[in-house]
Every structure is written in structure tokens, then in C-alpha cells.
Amino acid sequence: MAIYDGVVMLEALGVIGLRMLWQIWPGLLTCSVFWGACLTSDAIKLPTLTGALLISKILTTSGAGLNAVVTLANRGYMPVIGGSRFSLWVAASPGEHRLLWLADRFWGFSVGDFAIVLGMFSPLITSHIM
């Protein structure tokens, strides 16, 4: 079990490192590498999960997938309705940006962000229902 925990820790550090790389050098290449690593990691874990953890992983992976689609469609940047806060966020322009319905438009959050948060809390919610 200790080796597995070490692999999981390295995987998490790798994803965090790729996210930092994308933040430092925003663009399509770093965006693609980051989302590819995230979604591959999640896809490998899905078959081993059951119950509340499976629901959680499906929601968080779906949310990450939605965020990946909109950032990849916009050359590695997340459009935001209402202004720009970080280097990966750019003010949305309907003629210039794609898939604005998936962009950060709800108080700085996207539809994908809400799915990720719901997935993070779904084990708590389902444990009280079941």
C-alpha cells in the first residue's frame, strides 16, 4: 500500500506541476498537456471505483472535461464574462471566443467548476442519504 500511496502522491504533484507550467506559459500546448494528464489519470481510476466514490469521480471528471473543452477551444485560455483575473482568464468577446456558455460566467465559476465542486462533496451528500 505504501508504494501505491507514493505513486498517487507523485501523480498529484505531477498534475500540480503541469498546472503551474500552464499558469506560467499559458497557451494551447501547456493547456493540452495539463488536461491530457488530468483526464488520463481520472480515466485510469474510474474502473476501480464503486458507489459514492464512482459518482464523485464521474462528476469531477465531467467538470474537468467541460473546462478542458472550453479552454482548448479558446487556444488555452478560459474566457470569463465580466473581466480577467488571472493569466489563464481572458475577458470574453462573443465574436472572438468560443463556447461562452461553458466559460467562467457565474461569479467567476464555470459549469465545469460547479460539477467539480458537486463531485467533491457528493460522497458527503450520498452518505447522509444512504
Assigned C-alpha cell, 15: 498534475
Neighbours of 17 (CB within 10 A): 12
pTM of the model: 0.78
Confidence (pLDDT) at 70:
92
pLDDT digits (tens, 9 = 90+) for 36-70: 988 888 888 778 888 888 888 888 889 889 999 99
pLDDT digits (tens, 9 = 90+) for 110-126: 898 899 889 888 887 76
- Count: domains in the chain: 1
Domain boundaries, position 45? 2-129
User: 26 and 87 in contact (C-beta within 8 Å)?
Assistant: yes
What is the rounded CA–CA span in Å between residue 74 and residue 76?
6
Kindly list the distances between the CA atom of residue 5 and the CA atoms of 2, 40, 45, 57, in Å, as whole numbers in the listed order. 5, 18, 14, 18
pLDDT digits (tens, 9 = 90+) for 69-88: 999 999 888 888 876 566 56
